[in-house]
Amino acid sequence: MTLTELLEKHEGRKRKPYKCPAGFKTIGVGWNLEANPLPARIAEYLKENGEITEEMIDTLLEASIIVARNDCKSLFPEFNKFSKSRKMALIDFVFQLGRKRASRFVRAVAAINTGRWEDAAKEMGNSSWYKQTPTRAEEIIEMIEGG
């Protein structure tokens, strides 16, 4: 599975605005319209057509992945040395929560940064995030723990 496929599996893919499980107005693959205004040309297209194109969804997704990957590099200094599976899991995790909320997983972040993957998985499993999105969380935790 690719990172894009993983994110689409967890976030869905919608051309029209919708409310995500956390209650935020969202479009595309998890693009939070309340936190991140659309680029002008996409916003105008949405206003005129009531939806965006598949290509626009891809553009937004690519931008979101860049942000999440950079946030991972900031949270996890050794990120580039992690396995592909762990990188994908952590990008998905940060993509969903954002850097600020992900950084509040202090013990999990510390465990990841010291290579204690089982401890990180345990900490992530003992969280509100896990309770709110158990299916997604379980998959991410398995990827982190299994490497």
pLDDT one-digit tens code per residue, 112-131: 999 999 999 999 999 999 99
Q: Give the chain as a 3 state SS string.
A: CCHHHHHHHHHCCEEEEEECCCCCEEEECCEECCCCCCCHHHHHHHHHHCCCCHHHHHHHHHHHHHHHHHHHHHHCCCHHHCCHHHHHHHHHHHHHHHHHHHHCCHHHHHHHHCCCHHHHHHHHHCCHHHHHCHHHHHHHHHHHHHC
pLDDT one-digit tens code per residue, 127-147: 999 999 999 999 999 999 998
111: helix, strand or coil: helix
Model's pTM, two decimal places?
A: 0.94
Residue-level pLDDT at 20: 85
CATH code for residues 3-146: 1.10.530.40
pLDDT one-digit tens code per residue, 33-87: 999 999 999 999 999 999 999 999 999 999 999 999 999 999 999 999 999 999 9
Residue-level pLDDT at 126: 95
What pLDDT band is residue 31 in, cutting at 50, 70 and 90? very high
Closest of 35, 10, 39, 11 to residue 24, by C-alpha: 35
Would you kindly state where each structural domain of the chain is located, as residue ranges? 3-146
Does pLDDT of 4 surpass 90? yes
Residue-level pLDDT at 110: 98
Residue-level pLDDT at 22: 80
Q: What is the DSSP letter of 38?
A: P
Backbone angles phi, psi at 140, to 5 degrees: -65, -45
Q: What is the DSSP letter of 37?
A: P
d(CA 94, CA 73) in angstroms, rounded, equals 11
